[in-house]
Each structure stands twice: as structure tokens, then as C-alpha cells.
Amino acid sequence: MDLELRHLKVVVAIADTGSLTKAAALLSLPQPALTAQLQRIERALGGPLFDRDRRGARPTALGELVLARARVVLPAMKDLREEAARLTDADTDAVRYRLGAVNGPIVGGLVHRLAADEPHARITTYASWSADELTTLVGTGRLDFAVVGVCGSASPRGEHGVTWRTLATDAVFVLLPQRHPLAARPEVELAALAEVHWVAAPGDGCFADCFAAACARSGFTPRTMYEADPRGCVDLVEAGDAVALCQPTFRTVPGLVTRPLAGAPLRWRLLLGWHPDAAAAQAADRVLRYAAQAYADSVARAPAYADWLARHPHFGLQPGLGGAPAGVVAAAGADPA
């Protein structure tokens, strides 16, 4: 058997986790499959790579040698793939925009503006629940731009040299059935929702922790948090089985209302990212401007939020991006729906 990069990844995962069970979980493999792979690798190299007992797996002398080489080879191959992707990107003659996004209000308007401005451009989109995944795809040259949301003052994972610009900072609103007793209020105290069940779309940031902390400051621990896609969130709220945290530009359906949380205890920042060494970086200023205009459009479709922004000037579009309608003023993980 010839050794491949995937075999080196197995050896590194076992060494880093100290356990075949944990390494299998890290690599999303069944443990028997990982054990069989390790045995084949050890046969190919002529000896055991790990001493294994109840305390875990520790590298043998041969294992240490393989690990030392693997820790050089794997990063080098990763860098090679990234540089190759960027070089291929720079050499292509076709104008293209590969856009990735987490659930949010911007992508449709951004695609519309790019297509109108450059009718012959190739525009593709990719949806993900994971800001970390989108960061990796941009950093490795497989996407040109990504639109993500992060909680409060958090930032996306700082890997791959991706440049991030804040588009806007929104307050997180709550989505209620119109028949809910709190729906008639202009804003809702978080503490008034201590007894409800919650639902939110999945994500990989710190939003769940920030939400739990905000509830703790309001004197309660949140009850069940369901996880669903946006349609599932709407269905659960519509049925009266849960209340959803949502972006304030969320397009509601008949029978549902969005309301601000008093004091805006939760914030959601929208960011655009790209790699400064990629060919697409030349278009970054224009894409950023179009994304800001798409955000402004989403606010214009939510007049209640536009009115709220006029009274809360520290939220909304980032300074200097332009395209904001009157009343939209600048702003300094599970995701809201």
C-alpha cells in the first residue's frame, strides 16, 4: 500500500486527540474503519505507530518519526492547493463571481446588481450554515466572496488571510404569532419570554452562548431551543409551539409579527469577506457597495425596522458604504432565523 495524505491525516488526528475514538469522531469515520486504516498504515510502514492502553494512544518512536514528517507535508500541501487555486483564479479570462452566504437578506440583491452590471459574468452561489466553512472556501480560492453573520463583536475564524468588512449591525428581533399576548406591544422585554420554547436556525458561532447570557442577565434560563431551517422556524412559531429569534429584516408571513427586544440585548453583524490576493479582490469595493445597497433594500422592505433604526442611530449600515435609505444610520452562532 502506498501512503497517501489521508493516511497522514489519520496519524495526526490520533496523535492530537490521544484516542482512536476521538480521532474517529474528528474525522467523521466509524471507529472500526479508523482502526482498520491504522492497521494498514502500520503494515505499510513496518511497525506500530502508537502504544494503546486504557489511558489512550501514545506515539512510538516510529510514530514520532511519521508525525514529524506529516506535520511538514500536510501544511505544505494545503499551501500548495491554496496557491494553485489563486493562480488558476488569476489566469482565467471569464468574469465570474462565486458567492457564498449564511442565511441573510443580502444575496438576492447582490446577485441582481452584479448580473445587471455585468450581464456576461458567470455568477454562482453557495449556501452554508457555517461561517467557518465559508471562510475556508474563500481562503482556499473556491469562493470569491462570502456574506456571513456573527454575534455582537465576534469575528469569523481568523484563518486563511481572509479580509472582512462589516456591512451593518442589526438588533435581533423576536418572531411571534399575531395572537400572542406580547404581539401587541411595541417592544418585548426578554424576561417576559422566560416560559416560552425557542427556535433558531443552525450556525457555528457564539450566538447560542450570547443568547443564554442575555437570558441570564434577565433572570432566567431559556427553555427548549429547537433547531430548524427558516421554513421550519416559521412553522413552529405559526403553530404556537415556539418563539423565534430573527433578523429584523425578516419577511414575515400573515399571522406573524416581529418585535424588537427592549434594550437590544442581542446584536447581529453582517460581514463581507474576500481574499486580498485573489483576482476577485479587484472587484471588492464594487461588491461591497452592491452588498450595502442590497442591505438597504432589505431595510426599505421592513418599514417598522427603518423606523426603529431612526430612533437607534448606533445600528444599521456601516459608515461610508452608501446606498442607505433615509433613516438608516451607521453602526460602529445558532443564527437568528
CA 292 to chain CA mean position, Å? 19
Lowest mean pLDDT among 113-117, 183-187, 199-203, 293-297: 199-203
| Euclidean distance between CA atoms 57 and 248, whole angstroms | 50
pLDDT at residue 154 greater than cutoff 80: no
pLDDT at residue 131 greater than cutoff 70: yes
pLDDT at residue 159 greater than cutoff 90: no
- The amino acid present at 275, given as its one-letter code, is H
Supply the CATH classification number for the domain 5-88.
Answer: 1.10.10.10
Supply the CATH classification number for the domain 171-267.
Answer: 3.40.190.10
Supply the CATH classification number for the domain 95-169+268-317.
Answer: 3.40.190.10
Average pLDDT in the chain: 86
5-88 and 171-267 agree in CATH topology = no
Which residue matches cell numbers 453557495? 126
Task: Enumerate the β-bridge partners of residue 163.
Answer: 274
Number of DSSP helices (H) and strands (E) in the chain, helices first? 10, 13
Domain boundaries, the chain: 5-88, 95-169+268-317, 171-267
- How many other β-carbons are positioned within 10 Å of the β-carbon of residue 297? 19
For 285-295, what is the mean pLDDT? 95
For 15-35, what is the mean pLDDT? 87
Lowest mean pLDDT among 33-37, 241-245, 294-298: 33-37
